[in-house]
Amino acid sequence: MNRKLPSRIVRLVPLATGAVIAAMLAASPAAAADFGPVKTMKVDAKKAALGKRLFFDPRLSGDAAISCSTCHIPDKGFADGLPLAKAYPGSEGFRNTPTLINAAQKAAWFHDGRIGTNLNDVTRESITETYSMNMDMRLMQERIKQDPIYVKMFKDAGYGEPSNGSVRKAIPEFLKTLTSRGAPFDKGNLSDAAQRGFELFKGKAGCAQCHSGDRFSDDQPHNTGVPENPEIWSNPLRHITYVAFGMFIGIENYMNVRRDVGAHIRTHKSDGSDIGKFMTPTLRELKQTAPYMHNGTMATLADVVTFYNNGGGTDANQDSRIKPLGLSKEERANLVAFLESLSGDPLTGPEHVWKDKINVNYAAIENWLQAKN
């Protein structure tokens, strides 16, 4: 084994030792065969119910106009169907919104894997950054305290008074409820085409080298040569957001960077060989989450399979496992049928969606001089 490999991974995902072990196991073909259903997670029902209301509540954004569910839409597999995300007004995103289904089981989050700690930190970033909700969490806390329904829900959930710390715990508890279920693949219900596609996936097409385990991801970054989305360099609002991100995240010479450097922001290799690596995404629920890749440049699964069949992109640092596959038209269709068989029941019922209207017109406290905290 390449002796350098483990230390590089450890630096990249410092706290994700489980993922490091999983990645090392995934290197052996036997472990890669572990494609069972995604296990459900243990959840505290009251905390998750509170997290669900918060997830759908626009008062968590600076101008109270957008919520987590503005971009993570239940009908779209908790993604948004757009190539690149929107953002808080005055800003626009530079990445494709990923699905949140099974996201609680990941080892590192965001397309570059920049958060390798926990969902509490991911939630903080999602609430506070301008490219998502642009909210000062101290203000958010006071806003939430004004709503008697929240006061009761926080108390019932065992958190006491509403606080920004408990918001960052309750939302992750809700995210833990989002687990794939009902996929034909898990029910052993594959069409002949999908079954043949599965064999290609594990064999000739080599997909399982990176898309392994129950989520079909090794939780590692790789360079597959996905081309840039030119929109990030031509739409000023997106470009401004990317440049600002480059500055505060510490991309060297960020004013002169003309590509999304991906996981380089974690490893900063001086030879730049880590530029253009992105985290392997899950292959579950793809039917709901088009378009694909970190920058939404591929509209359909057929486009993705054609991309791989052609040997990926043209990046000098492209992973050596991405190479022309020589798949026939029928084999490509089989692979698409297999990928489709990994999509299950949409999570759009009351268990996963806050269905009540969130009433923001509750009676205000008339006179704070007489209110008791």
278 binds ligand HEC (CB under 6 A): yes
Q: What is the DSSP string of 171-186?
A: HHHHHTT------TTT
Q: Residue 22 or 210: which CB sits closer to ligand HEC?
A: 210
Q: For residues 332 and 200, is the Cβ–Cβ distance under 8 A?
A: no
Binding region for ligand HEC (CB under 6 A) out of 8-16, 188-196, 202-210, 342-350: 202-210
Q: What angle is formed at CA 246 by the lines to CA 241 and CA 249, rounded to 5 degrees? A: 115
Q: Residue 47 or 72: which CB sits closer to ligand HEC?
A: 72
Q: What angle is formed at CA 178 by the lines to CA 175 and CA 181, rounded to 5 degrees? A: 165
157 binds ligand HEC (CB under 6 A): no
Q: Residue 62 or 365: which CB sits closer to ligand HEC?
A: 62
226 binds ligand HEC (CB under 6 A): yes
Q: What is the DSSP string of 25-69?
A: HHTSHHHHT---PPPP----HHHHHHHHHHHT-GGGSTTS---HH
CA-to-CA dists, residue 243 to 47, 133, 253, 269, 275, angstroms: 37, 18, 10, 20, 16
Binding region for ligand HEC (CB under 6 A) out of 4-12, 229-237, 248-256, 288-296: 288-296
Q: For residues 23 and 218, is the Cβ–Cβ distance under 8 A?
A: yes
The residue behind tokens 């909700």 is: 133
CA distance 301 to 291: 9
Number of neighbours of residue 39 by Cβ within 10 angstroms: 10
CB of 37 to ligand HEC, least distance (A): 19
Name which position in 193, 305, 337, 342 contacts ligand HEC (CB under 6 A).
Answer: 305
CA distance 227 to 232: 12
Total residues interacting with ligand HEC, rule: CB under 6 A:
54
Residues 55-84 binding ligand HEC (CB under 6 A) are 60, 66, 68, 70-72
CB of 349 to ligand HEC, least distance (A): 19
Residues in contact with ligand HEC by the rule CB under 6 A: 60, 66, 68, 70-72, 85-87, 93, 95, 97-98, 100, 103, 106, 109-111, 119, 122-123, 126-127, 132-133, 171, 205-207, 209-211, 222, 224, 226, 278, 280-281, 283, 286, 289, 292-294, 301, 304-305, 308, 319, 321-322, 335, 339
